[in-house]
Structure 1
Amino acid sequence: MNGQTVIILDLPGEAETMRLGEDLALALKVGDCLALSGDLGAGKSTLARALLRALADDDDLEVPSPTFTLVQSYDLRIPVAHFDLYRLGDASELDELGFDEALSNGICIVEWPEIAEDLLPDSRITLKLEHRGSGRVATITAPEERMKRIRRVLAIRDALTGWGYAGARRRYLTGDASVRAYETLRTADGRDFILMDWPRQPEGPPVLDGKPYPKVAHIAEDAYPFVAIAGYLREIGLAAPQVFNADYEQGILVIEDLGREGVLDESGRPIADRYRESVACLAFLHGHQVSQDIPVTDAHVHHIPDFDPTAMKMEARLLLDWHLPWKRGAQPSEEERQDYLAIWDGLIRELEGSERNLLLRDFHSPNIIWRPHESGVHRIGIIDFQDAMIGPTAYDLAAIVQDARADVPATLAEQMMVDYVTLRRSLSSPSSPFDEPAFLKAFSIMAAQRNCKLAGLWVRLKERDGKPGYMKHMPRTLRYLAAALRHEALAPLRDWCHKAGIDLPES
């Protein structure tokens, strides 16, 4: 097979074989075929069992040998079909076992792949185990696209070992709409951490003035901003993760585990008290004036970018570039485009003089941890802030009051607004009063800007990135946009949306 690359690993004992299986569980994706070869007793079943238990996050998962059944299926985080072809009568019987369907829906682990080698995909990952002394050696061969993922999980393991976490138990925690992924770490002595996996990405195509989207919209591209903002939040008394280890070049961080409890109930509905506490936390944050330059290391100072007009318009353009073509099946006319951008020029001018300070950018339910055993603002754990900017503070309030991932009841949203304004008034001084009318106008403009961005982002995630699941948020986003457009300052945008045929709920 052409384009194959090879990795050779020493596995001194069974523990290392199991650990390789566990690490591979973090690398494999839907459509991967892992072909396990080696003599009897070489460790194929040991590795496969560790991989399956890691995917299940269940160390006691029953993993019977498929020697006699030929295939054993598992409904896990990623569905897995475990094949043992040792007793396969004829290679052609592989189709009858449902191999193609299993591969299209999940992962296939194949022991004794030599028996049906010609029928396995050329893109398979081949892992050969051979005895070497009292241990084993593993030879992994795969196309570069898949080997890149394997090298990544092995590089993370090497980094953890170098930081003193040798043998730590790694399990998948979550991914998000970005390039970051998260794992849980448990050390041999029972300490728990979170690993942030944030590989550097190649620079994308230019979208404005020769710059790619992340640079125009000020999206963090490495871990320095996260470490800087985490340190600042902790310094002023908020609960953000402590960063224990960071490899900025590779994008690997070990951070504090703030917990798993969120602000939604089991049905995905907001828990009112927790949302109100989140707003109190936000008011506390906005009552502290941040320095725009934060030292991170002896050689690096993070300059918090401004949420400038270019970035605001670039995000709002997602409605033009993605939502409208999806909705109508055709690109907007040049006149529509120019009118829309001119409206945003005017709305951004309306923000002049509004309060500006640190805004976290994504302060909503997925990024808030509830810490019931803490008190005050420490009950709110903040975990996503690497894209923080200096801009209208109203943006963050809009992000939580109009939570993109949950339906916030109108009565709760109104109470949150009252809570925030009341707290900001109490924290202000005669020399620096809280301008409520200006803030409420900025709130509506920022809510409209955020929801225009999201209405396009959900479509982009579906059509460009193959993540259609985010489209379930579209009806909520359009309801929030309609609510924001009720402010008199938003009348031009409301009229434009009506003419463009964007389906907004009636006010």
Structure 2
Amino acid sequence: MIQPLPDGLHAFLAATPWQGAEIAPLAGDASFRRYFRLRHDGATAMLMHAPPPHEDPRPFLDVAGWLEANGLRAPRILLADPAAGWVLTEDFGDVRVKERLDAHPHEEQAIYSGAVDALIALRAVPPGPFAAYDMAAYLRETALFTEWFCPAAGLEVDGAGWHAAWEEVLSPLLARQAPGVTVLRDYHAENIMLLAPGDPRGEQGLIDFQDALVGHPAYDLVSLLQDARRDVSPTTERAMLERYCANTAAGDNFEADYLRLGAQRNAKIVGIFTRLARRDGKARYLDLIPRVWSHLERDLAHPALAPVARWFDANVPSAVRAAQGDFRALAHG
């Protein structure tokens, strides 16, 4: 069903160079935001509608400005009315990393090298004026697993033990996190755009960064390399880890912290995808859980994750953990 254009769209564009533009709706994401491509006099722009009270575009504008000021390739803001939820930006086009690699898998290491280099550049600048990715934030996110996935799977679990296990696993990481880096938090193949070759401002563009926090440098790296939406080859994952460590002061514990945050993020994602299916009717996200679960199991095998691994052994039966092929029943469980 084609949705009508949001109220206020034409009023927002009135008396601007984009008045009278052709408006083409684009596919949305897991939020209430909607996106449109505008075409006018041979030029294009992207229009985001982030309607209050469900959405607030001000964090997007703040992070975009900070990234731009620090040499990262965020879209330029052309026009904004945050109170009404409207943001007009530079158009990065349609070529995302995921679709490019679906068609040209031999380019994987070259493209991921560029994405890792952006994280190296991000680490080289002081963290932005954003909230801390602290223990409370990590635990709120891991709680999504027990709040959404476990009930949907018919599991009665030890919630206090889950909380305690994650505190034990993440406490050593927090001591190494300071002073922190800007963490984009959703840095993956569907949120990195491939721009025109030779673009002087960079050939990879960033989107969907409005939830940025100041946290551990391994977080965005594991978001990129343990992607819920595409399989990154083990060879590429290893090469990119080595590339990052060779070009930063990563430290001896970096890989263990990478796996800690991989497990934390993957447990959160399983909870979020279950919530999207059960609460929001977006069952398609359940098809991504097997890949995420596979990442999670691999992370749990590291000794740094032993407390959380023991919790899984005690609370999540092997039959559930082996159900890699089909989690669609969770939509109605």
Structure 1 length normalisation: TM-score? 0.59
1:352 aligns with 2:142: no
Give, in angstroms, the shift of residue 179 of structure 1: 1.1
* Partner in structure 2 of residue 317 of structure 1: 143
1:468 aligns with 2:283: yes
Report the AA paired with residue 9 of structure 2: I
Aligned 8 A contact 1:184 1:192 in 2: yes
1:386 aligns with 2:223: no
In 2: Cα distance, 1:353 partner to 1:364 partner: 26
Instruction: Work out the percentage of aligned pairs sharing the same amino acid.
Output: 32
Report the AA paired with residue 272 of structure 2: L
Report the AA paired with residue 317 of structure 1: A
Give, in angstroms, the shift of residue 446 of structure 1: 0.9
Aligned 8 A contact 1:223 1:251 in 2: yes
* Partner in structure 2 of residue 366 of structure 1: 190
In 2: Cα distance, 1:242 partner to 1:158 partner: 21
1:497 aligns with 2:306: no
* CA 1:180–1:449: 2 relative to 1, 3 Å: same
Equivalent residue for 1:165, pick from 8, 11, 18: 18
1:180 aligns with 2:4: no
Correspondence 1:183-262 to 2 at 5 A: 183-187=36-40, 189-201=41-53, 221-262=55-96
* Partner in structure 2 of residue 279 of structure 1: 116
In 2: Cα distance, 1:280 partner to 1:435 partner: 14
Give, in angstroms, the shift of residue 307 of structure 1: 1.2
* CA 1:190–1:239: 2 relative to 1, 3 Å: same
1:418 aligns with 2:255: no
In 2: Cα distance, 1:276 partner to 1:324 partner: 37
The secondary structure found in structure 1 opposite 2:88 is: strand
After TM superposition, where is structure 1 displaced by more than 3 Å over at least 4 residues in a row?
A: 266-270, 502-505
User: Which protein is richer in strand relative to its size?
Assistant: 1
Q: For structure 2, list consecutive stretches of 5 or more residues without a partner in the other structure.
A: 323-333
Q: Deviations over 1:346-382 (max 9, x none)?
A: 1221113223110000000110001241368811110
In 1: Cα distance, 2:149 partner to 2:252 partner: 31
Q: Deviations over 1:173-210 (max 9, x none)?
A: 120001111110011x11100000100125xxxxxxxx
* CA 1:377–1:492: 2 relative to 1, 3 Å: farther
Q: Deviations over 1:84-120 (max 9, x none)?
A: xxxxxxxxxxxxxxxxxxxxxxxxxxxxxxxxxxxxx
Report the AA paired with residue 116 of structure 2: V
User: Which protein is richer in helix relative to its size?
Assistant: 2
Moved more, 454-463 or 226-235: 226-235
Report the AA paired with residue 486 of structure 1: A
Give, in angstroms, the shift of residue 154 of structure 1: 3.4
1:288 aligns with 2:110: no
Q: For structure 1, list consecutive stretches of 5 or more residues without a partner in the other structure.
A: 1-23, 28-149, 203-220, 293-303, 425-433
Report the AA paired with residue 147 of structure 2: D
* CA 1:232–1:359: 2 relative to 1, 3 Å: same
* Partner in structure 2 of residue 19 of structure 1: none
Give, in angstroms, the shift of residue 267 of structure 1: 5.5
Aligned 8 A contact 1:26 1:171 in 2: no
Aligned 8 A contact 1:325 1:331 in 2: yes
Q: How many residues align?
A: 315
In 1: Cα distance, 2:116 partner to 2:301 partner: 22
In 2: Cα distance, 1:418 partner to 1:383 partner: 25
Aligned 8 A contact 2:47 2:88 in 1: yes
Report the AA paired with residue 256 of structure 1: E
In 2: Cα distance, 1:171 partner to 1:315 partner: 35
| Greater gyration radius | 1
Aligned 8 A contact 1:281 1:377 in 2: no
Equivalent residue for 1:484, pick from 299, 309, 318: 299
In 1: Cα distance, 2:192 partner to 2:37 partner: 17
Aligned 8 A contact 2:23 2:39 in 1: yes
Report the AA paired with residue 24 of structure 2: R
* Partner in structure 1 of residue 131 of structure 2: 305
* Partner in structure 2 of residue 338 of structure 1: 160
* Partner in structure 1 of residue 331 of structure 2: none
In 1: Cα distance, 2:42 partner to 2:201 partner: 28
* CA 1:501–1:282: 2 relative to 1, 3 Å: same
Aligned 8 A contact 1:163 1:245 in 2: no
* Partner in structure 2 of residue 300 of structure 1: none
The secondary structure found in structure 2 opposite 1:196 is: strand
In 2: Cα distance, 1:443 partner to 1:422 partner: 15
Report the AA paired with residue 134 of structure 2: D
In 2: Cα distance, 1:256 partner to 1:373 partner: 17
In 1: Cα distance, 2:196 partner to 2:217 partner: 27
In 2: Cα distance, 1:435 partner to 1:360 partner: 18
* Partner in structure 2 of residue 85 of structure 1: none
Aligned 8 A contact 2:131 2:214 in 1: yes
1:155 aligns with 2:8: yes
* CA 1:164–1:371: 2 relative to 1, 3 Å: closer
Structure 2 length normalisation: TM-score? 0.89
Q: What is the aligned-residue RMSD (CA, Å)?
A: 2.0
Q: Deviations over 1:205-260 (max 9, x none)?
A: xxxxxxxxxxxxxxxx4112111111121122221100011001011010001121
